[in-house]
A and B are shown apart, each in its own frame.
Chain A
Amino acid sequence: MTTRPPVTDWATDWDHLERQWSENPYPIWDGLRKTCPVAHTERYMGAYLPTRYEDVKAVAHDTEHFSSRRVVLRETRPETILPAPPITSDPPHHKRAKQILLPRFTPDAIARLEPKTRAICDELIDGFVGKRRVDAAQAYSRHIPVRIIAFMLGVPESDSPRFIDWIHRILEVGITDQTAAMTAGREMVEYFAGHIERTAREGGDNLISDLLAVREDGQPLPPEHVNGTLRLLLIAGIDTTWSAIGSSLWHLAQHPEDRRRLVAEPRLMPLAIEEFLRAYAPVTMAREVVKETTLAGCPVKPGNMLLLSFPAANRDPAMFPNADKVIIDRKENRHAAFGLGIHRCVGSNLARMEMRIAVEAFLKRIPEFRLDPSQGVTWSEGTVRGPRRLPLLLG
């Protein structure tokens, strides 16, 4: 990556690609919340950064002033935008685009994927149980969501390495290198065009066949809608949950008291998963300001982007008592890890199930583990934050 000028002042020159942000963003947000709750930067062609829960919530609910047509903050304005409904849709088009997907993501529908998820987790653990060391991000967390979403889409699980490569180029490299993002995007369009054609010919019972079966006023969805939604599901369904599983294990590696409590009291697991989601929320979205307004009294002008940091909102002490503490049995937890308002993550039930099964399966067979002090943890940067190297000592 090219060298970036260091941040001089987080209130007026913030940069979410700065190393300090990737490695430990929480003190940055805590500082801003007290001094400048809506920060701004001239980087990224101008962008705002609210850090208080109330302000993040207000933006998420305000589709009049904040458009979703661009949901990733990039250094340049893309010449062409490949729409990926419903995440890039605004009202009134958003609702129907989302409704098409929702039936496959209800709690009951997702519960049917539990046995498969558990089998994947156990198979992965077989590969390193009994060893002294493992990189839990590379050998475990990264493989779980990608295989489940491939199954739901009806594409080969063996294509997983390609999916992970596309995501890296679109969401990480692509922030500063538009060509890399566009090339990966075009490869995905071509990939799904082939699978759409195959599914149209052979049929199926998956998300592709669901999208092909839709008729609006007698007409099928436009091909670019189907393709865009499939790209979205693939991108959104992989490194997000991979990150959330990794962060949960990263926490447990450093907190034996939490680890042992979860082993002794497995019924706490769903609450613990919610708390990991709050404290280590992986996903930061963006909005484009399309109409002048104010946010926390600050003028917000069109032409700017806005970084919608659900992770920062989740650490706001005005909303969450002891916001900087991970309390695995926190009873009241209205966290925003899956977003708020109409763009609430369509895969939230899937992500929760994958996290719960992945952490349960790991703890069941490897109840004792800690960070390997001889190697460092590395974090992804940008839109999705989670450990990409998570070296653990087992037993």
Chain B
Amino acid sequence: MVAGKSLKLRINAEKCQGHNRCKALAPELIVLDTFGNAQPAGDGIVPRELEEKARLAKANCPEFAVDISEE
């Protein structure tokens, strides 16, 4: 990856159904509301050491609600 660029994790709230797979795989990157629906922790910027977890969170969302992109 190009040095200096970082990943940002986004969750489509319309698609999220609270399966919580992202929370299980990338707990540092996800916060849940009272109903278990997921939101990115903080600004969604993924620290370099958590990038693999972010990719797993995306790859395991049954609703295709998690997206990661370079910022």
Contact = CB atoms under 8 A, between A and B. Distances in A.
B61 interface: yes
B59 interface: yes
Given A102-B35, A105-B36, A107-B36, A336 B20 contact: no
Nearest to A103: B34
B61 A334 contact: yes
Interface stretch (A21-29, A63-71, A341-349, A358-366): A341-349
A270 interface: yes
Given A331-B59, A334-B59, A107 B20 contact: yes
Chain A interface helix/strand/loop/mixed: helix
Chain B interface helix/strand/loop/mixed: loop
A349 B20 contact: yes
Contacts of B23: 107
B35 A99 contact: yes
A346 B17 CA distance: 10
Interface in A285-339: 331-336, 338
Contacts, number: 49
A102 B59 contact: no
**Residue of B17, B19, B23 with most partner-chain A CB within 10 A:** B17
A340 interface: yes
Interface in A84-114: 99, 102-103, 105-108
B63 A340 contact: yes
B44 interface: no
B36 A349 contact: yes
A107 B20 CA distance: 8
A102 B17 contact: no
B36 A106 contact: yes
Contacts of B18: 102, 344
B60 interface: yes
B27 to A, nearest CB: 9
A107 B62 CA distance: 17
B24 A270 contact: yes
A348 B60 CA distance: 15
B50 interface: no
A332 B60 CA distance: 6
B35 A334 contact: no
Given A105-B36, A336-B62, A344 B19 contact: yes
A375 B36 CA distance: 43
**Residue of A106, A331, A335 with most partner-chain B CB within 10 A:** A106
B68 interface: no
Contacts of A107: 20, 23-24, 32, 36
Interface in B26-63: 32, 34-36, 56, 59-63
B18 to A, nearest CB: 7
A331 B32 contact: no
Nearest to A98: B35
A348 B19 CA distance: 7
Interface in A160-217: none
Contacts of A102: 18, 34-36
Interface in A350-383: none
Contacts of A334: 59-62, 64
A105 B34 CA distance: 10
A18 B70 CA distance: 51
A100 to B, nearest CB: 10
Contacts of A331: 56, 59
A349 B60 CA distance: 15
Nearest to A349: B20
Sorted nearest first, the 3 A-B pairs with minimum C-beta distance are A102-B35, A332-B59, A344-B17
Interface of B: 17-20, 23-24, 32, 34-36, 56, 59-64
16 contacts: A102-B34, A106-B35, A107-B23, A107-B24, A108-B32, A274-B60, A332-B59, A334-B60, A334-B61, A336-B62, A340-B17, A340-B62, A341-B63, A344-B18, A344-B19, A348-B20
